[in-house]
Amino acid sequence: MKLSIIVPAHNEEKTLGVIVKELLGLKVFGWQFEIIIVDDGSKDGTWTAAENFFGNGVVGIKKETNQGKGAAILEALKSVSGDFVLIQDADGEYLPKDIPSLLLALGENKNCAVFGDRGSKSYPERGFHYVLAAKFLTWVFNALFKTRLHDLYTGYKLMPSSVLKSSKLSSAGFEFEAEVAARLCEQKLFIKEVPIGFKPRSKEQGKHIRFIDAFRGIKKMVDIKFNK
């Protein structure tokens, strides 16, 4: 089995190298890895940092303008050759050491997806309003799609590449998280959840997601549910 790890990055020169080194150190029996780094119109040295790793299963895509996380992922999907896809943010919030747990959770059933659940331990660091919004979005999604997810907007989503490529994905921004989960449900894919670690960063540290993204996510869920 082969895993394609997509790393969307926007102005992440300080953390990208650390993340890629950790990804290159992953070893899971029975799995091969490829890493696709997407520089989403960065203005710093992100692309230079990425170039240091090209070769041996690591490739890069450079976008001249910043179009958003979803757009970066959609661009990378064109180059994916793995059986499964995982998105790895370049900012250090998600820990590559948790990836083996997601892969192991697949078990023998490869016709499913695995989401990382950030749980409640990181609530104080994430901030009350952020947590409230994440919980509300998950509640709305569960109500619409009859699921029992705990963390819809988790960045760690392990998904079959064939399902992603056959889905009508179009979200350019963070609403991609809601859209991709909805598309998985549309195709009646079972979604498992496993606990993961999380090291949230603040707006001052460069966190990109905003409250407007929550409204965009809800709109995307409703549009997909009612086929607009």
102-106, long-range: CB within 8 Å, 24+ apart, which pairs? 102/156, 102/158, 102/194, 102/196, 103/3, 103/28, 103/31, 103/158, 104/28, 105/158, 105/192, 105/194, 106/158, 106/192
What average pLDDT does range 76-92 have in this prediction?
Answer: 97
How confident is the model over 87-112, as pLDDT tens digits? 999 999 999 999 999 999 998 878 89
Superfamily of domain 2-225: Spore Coat Polysaccharide Biosynthesis Protein SpsA; Chain A (3.90.550.10)
Q: Is 191 helix (H, G, I), strand (E, B) or coil?
A: strand
Q: Which two tokens stand for residue 99?
A: 């990836």
pLDDT in the model for residue 160: 97
205 pLDDT above the threshold of 50: no
pLDDT score of 206: 47
Domain residue spans of the chain: 2-225
**Token pair 């790890």 is at which residue?**
5
Of 47-61, 74-88, 145-159, 193-207, the least confident? 193-207
Residue 100: how many other CB atoms lie within 10 Å: 14
What is residue 20's three-state secondary structure? helix
Question: For all residues of the chain together, what is the average pLDDT?
Answer: 91
Distances (CA, A) of 93 to 30, 72, 191, 206: 27, 18, 22, 11
In angstroms, rounded to a whole number, what is the distance separating the alpha carbons of residues 152 and 18?
26
Q: Is 169 a residue whose pLDDT tops 50?
A: yes
203 pLDDT tier (thresholds 50, 70, 90): low
CA distance linking residue 134 with residue 77, whole number of Å: 26
126: pLDDT strictly greater than 70:
no
| Positions of E strands within the chain | 2-9, 32-40, 58-63, 84-87, 112-117, 157-160, 190-195
Q: Residue 143 class from Cβ within 10 Å (0-12 exposed, 13-18 middle, 19+ buried)?
A: exposed
